[in-house]
Amino acid sequence: MKYENRVVFYIDILNFKKIVESTVDSYDNDIEKRIDEVYEMFNTVRYFLDEKEYDKISQTKRFTQFSDSIVISFLANERSEIYHTLYYIQLLLTDLVSKEILCRGAVVYGKLLHDDKIIFGPALNLAHLGESKAALFPRIILDESIISLGGIYHADHNLPHHEIEAIDNIVSKDTDNMYYIDYFEKSIHNFYDKEYVNLYINDLRKLIAPYLDTKDFDLKVKFGWLINKFNKMVRKIRKSMNYKFSNLSEIRFFNIIHQK
C-alpha cells in the first residue's frame, strides 16, 4: 500500500462545542429545534462538498466528516478540481454565514491515504497544523503553490493563466501574505441580484453584532479581522456597484487590528 499525492482541504467549524451544547437544556433534555438546525448544517455541508459532486465530474474526490472537522481530498492531477473545490467552498462559507456559522481551515498538497473508511497521512497532519496555527482568523488558508498547481492541472478549455485568473477571483492575499478563500468582496459576484447582496450584508452584521462589546481578547482578534473584511467589502460595493442600500455603513469597532 502506498500514499497518493492529493490536495487536501481541512475545514473546522468554529464554536462547535457551544453549538452542540445548545442542543440540550440544563436538565439534559433534547432541544429538537436546535438538533434539527445542526443536522441541517451538516446537510448543507454535504450538499456543497459531497453529494453535489460538481455534477459528478470528479473521479477521485473523497469526503470525510468527523465531529467539527471536514476533510475533502482528491488526486492533484484532476483537471480543474482545485478551482471547482475552492468555488464550492466559497459558496458554502457564504451560506453558513446565514446560519451564523464560521469556519477556518487550510488547503495543502501532500501524501495521503483517503478512502471511504480510513484517512491518514503526512498531508492530513500538515493540514491540521495549518488550521490550528496559521489560520488564526475565521478563514481557510492556502499557499501560493496550490494556486500554481491549479494552473498546471487546468481545465481542458482553459490555458494555465486563465485557470489561475479564475482562482484569483475566489482567493485573496491577506496582510500576512497568506492566501485565503474570500467570502467577502470576492463572493459578491456569486449573488444573482442586489437583494441577495443586501441579505448577505445583513447576515454578516447579525453574526458580528453580539461580539462588538466583547472583553475576550481572542474574540477581539477574530472579530476584528472579520469586521475589517466586512468594511472593505462595503467600501468596494459603495464605490463600484452603486447599490443604494441603507445598510452600506461600516462597522465601528475597537482599533486593535489594522488591515488595508
Same domain, 204 and 178: no
pLDDT at residue 242 in the model:
61
Give yes or no: residues 87 and 143 share one domain: yes
* Overall domain count for the chain: 2
Residue 246 belongs to a domain: no
**pLDDT value at residue 52:** 53
- Per-residue pLDDT tens over the stretch 131-149: 888 878 999 999 999 999 9
> What pTM was computed for the model?
0.89
Cα-Cα-Cα-Cα dihedral sign, residues 122, 123, 124, 129: positive
What pLDDT does residue 54 have? 47
Residue 203 shares a structural domain with residue 153: no
247 in a domain, yes or no?
Answer: no
Please check whether residue 135 lies inside any domain of the structure.
yes
Give the gyration radius of the chain's Cα atoms.
19
Of these ranges, 57-61, 102-106, 247-251, the one predicted with the greatest mean pLDDT is 102-106
Do 178 and 211 fall within a single domain? no
Its domain, for residue 226, covers: 197-240
At residue 81 the predicted structure's pLDDT band, cuts being 50, 70 and 90, is very high
pLDDT tens, residue by residue, 196-243: 888 899 999 999 988 888 888 888 888 899 999 999 998 888 877 666
Residue 73, C-alpha cell as written in the block: 481530498
Angle between helices 217-240 and 194-208 (to 10 degrees): 160
**Do 179 and 202 have their domain in common?**
no
Looking at the fold, whether 83 and 124 belong to one and the same domain comes out as yes
| pLDDT for 258 | 42
- Is the CB of residue 203 less than 8 Å from the CB of residue 193? no
Is 128 a domain residue? yes
Residue 260 pLDDT > 50: no
Q: Determine, yes or no, domain membership for 259.
A: no
Q: Domain for residue 252, yes or no?
A: no
